[in-house]
Structure 1
Amino acid sequence: MAAAVLAVTAFAAACGDDDKKSDTGTAKAASSAALPVTVDTTRGKVTVKDASRIVPLGGDIAQSIYALGLAENVVGVDASGAVLPESKGKPTFGNSRALNPEGILAQRPTVAIGSASVGPRTAIDQLKAAGVAVVLIPDSSKPEDAVTRIQAIATALGVPEKGKTMADRTAGEIAAAKAKGAQAATKPRVAFLYIRGQANLYHLGGKGLGPDSMITAAGGIDTGTELGIEMSAAMTPESMVAAKPDVILVFRKGLDSVGGVDGVLKLPGVAQTPAGQNKKVVAMDDLELGGGGPTAGIALDQLVTLLHS
């Protein structure tokens, strides 16, 4: 896993097995003491009575739950959460946009937490009908959203004080990374490419896509947004030349799917850009560029370094 995720994992490991067990026990006790709780969600108020069997519907949400010390309470994860070290051995049930409600219900969850965009809606309705408390929180559109998302997750699970501590730390890390980006001598033009070589999928990202806000916060210019692209559009030689990126940013899985940096440089139009001519291609993991979890500030700092070095 990349640096942002490893930072949380390394911290937990450094505490030792005894401390880890103690922390988990404390979190469970606090959760039990603070529940039931009624919280506002994107689909009305929901009362959470039991957080003993949690299903996170998203990788960054799983990150937050693990960092809150509730890893033992997680009974299953979606595909994006499955990549986290703490998810090893846990059942998986599709991705957050194509949930498998039967697979989720098989884990007998007491509470499920996801972003407002998870679905399909029929799956969410099925979970509710089965008596699962479903907490949906606003999607992350900028790094700072990680702070309110962490607090919302912690409150719903009965550990609000732990959530505040984590949220405050994350807010400080985000502010420091943004200041570092703002002080940089350059303001690089960045093209985010969503590429999946095996699926022959090549898109240029733009406004509304997760990396857009991360690029801006890191002191860069999102060239897709500048071109007026909403979310993403098919990558063409003409769009790449018009974008004129100094840096090409990709997900690490996308980079691997085309055979590395050399593969990206061979994509239509890339060689005609400043980034292509200077072989300036950088990669980060999906969860890092999403910026919605407790490692948002760490990931943003990493992006600042990648863009301005």
Structure 2
Amino acid sequence: MKNTITFLFCLVGTVAFSKENKTNQHRIITLNGAITEMVCALGHQDKIVATDVTSTFPKSLNAKDLGHVRTLSIESVMALKPTLILATEKDMNPDLAAKLKASGVKTHIFKQVFSIQGTKDLIKEVATVLGEKNYVALQSSIDKKVKTAKGIPSKPKVLFIYARGAGMLMVAGKNTPVDNMIALAGGQNAVTGFDDFKPLTPEALLANNPDYILFFDKGLQSVGGVEGALKIEGLAKTKAGKNKNIIAMDGALLSGFGPRVGEGVVELNQLLSGNAQ
């Protein structure tokens, strides 16, 4: 009798654990905007309970914003009782990465390659983790969209400025996501002398003499819009300044390389085609 009771207790406990685990598998935390978009595009938006600050799309996403992954604490992540954490190596604090992997929660930290093929590969990797087999259509939609971008024979020189107010201005060099996007859209990065980002100087503006100045939407707003940008020292003397070729795009669309990357290529292509010299 005692053995029977013990067996039934264990059986009930196992069933209860299985039910709890089945429910918990719907608690996903995404710590990268592109990853968040991919999870949503693959049909799992309702399972996301929290994201990082770069996850701004889709607008219908209803999840807790944990802030920037660089300053994220393991405690704030674990407090939400996730069963799956998805992130990328970019901006990930090594200490946080180690703690996430040691937490016992299923964690995947992907290497993101900022190219069309890299995006398609990442979609497949995310889909595989989610157990989602229907991802090919999402990959194909990127190729179809990119093919609609028009060639620009003049290959205009584009200078991207990362701005957080007039006192914080950085320019994108080679081997940056924006550098890759400019090339995909039919332009060329006006900066060729260095990789990553460096502070903007009047000398650099005049030396590179871009045809277009490109900002994130919020970055352009932070400097006072087009008229504010033209007040940046040296900018008004460039070709872009003289022609008021100051353009801006949504940050995630321009540099996120998520499933909307094809839309980003086409939008930038249209901006560069509309006023191409």
The TM-score, its normalising length taken from structure 1, stands at 0.77
Work out whether residues 56 and 74 of structure 1, in 8 Å CA contact, stay in contact via their aligned partners in 2: yes
**Residues in 2 aligned to 1:138 and 1:171: alpha-carbon distance in whole angstroms:** 21
1:168 has 2:140 as partner? yes
Shift of 1:83: 5.5
1: CA distance, partners of 2:91 / 2:223: 29
Q: 1:284 aligns with which of 237, 240, 249?
A: 249
Query: 1:83-115, CA deviations, whole angstroms, 9 ceiling, x for partnerless residues?
Result: 641333x21212133322211111111111111
2:43 aligned with 1:69: yes
SS at match of 2:53: coil
1:143 corresponds to which residue? Answer: 116
Pick aligned residue for 1:244 from 184, 209, 232 = 209
What is the SS of the residue equivalent to 1:140?
Answer: coil
**C-alpha separation between the residues in 2 aligned to 1:237 and 1:104?**
43
Output the aligned Cα RMSD: 1.6
Distance 2:235 2:128 in 1: 46
- State whether residues 112 and 119 of structure 2, in contact with CA within 8 Å, keep that contact through their aligned partners in structure 1: no
Decide whether aligned partners of structure 1 residues 287 and 176 sit closer, same or farther in structure 2, where only a CA change above 3 A counts. same
2:139 alignment partner AA: A
Residues 209-237 of structure 1, C-alpha deviation per residue, up to 9 Å, x if partnerless? Answer: 2110000111111011x2x1211111111
Any residues of structure 2 matched to 1:186-201 within 5 Å, and which? Answer: 186-197=154-165, 200-201=167-168
- Give the direction of change, closer, same or farther, for the CA distance of 1:118–1:109 in structure 2 (3 Å limit): farther
- Aligned mates of 1:116, 1:82 — CA distance in 2: 19
Q: What is residue 129 of structure 1 aligned with on the other side?
A: 102
Which residue among 167, 179, 184 is the counterpart of 2:152? 184
* Residue 8 (structure 2) aligns with: none
Distance in 1 (CA, whole Å) between partners of 2:135 and 2:69 is: 23
2:84 counterpart of 1:117: no
Structure 1 pair 217/76, CA: closer, same or farther in 2 (3 Å)? same
Whether 1:54 aligns to 2:28 is yes
Distance (Å, rounded) in 2 between the aligned partners of 1:244 and 1:80 = 31
Range with bigger deviation, 107-116 or 70-79: 107-116
Structure 1 contact 140–291 (Cα < 8 Å) conserved: no
Task: Name the stretch that deviates more: 90-99 or 59-68.
Answer: 90-99
**Paired amino acid for 2:181:** M
- 1:221 corresponds to: 188
SS of equivalent residue, structure 1 residue 113: strand
Name the stretch that deviates more: 262-271 or 162-171: 162-171
State the shift of 1:185 in Å. Answer: 3.5
- Distance (Å, rounded) in 2 between the aligned partners of 1:189 and 1:139: 26
- 2:200 matched to 1:235? yes
Q: In terms of Rg, which structure is larger? A: 2
Aligned-partner residue type, residue 159 of structure 2: A
TM-score, length basis structure 2: 0.86
* 2:170 is the counterpart of 1:203: yes
C-alpha separation in 2, matches of 1:98 and 1:218:
33
Question: Matched residue pairs, number?
Answer: 251
Deviations 1:100-158 (A, max 9, x none): 22111111111111112242121122222221111122223223321111111111111
Pairwise CA distance, 1:292: 1.6
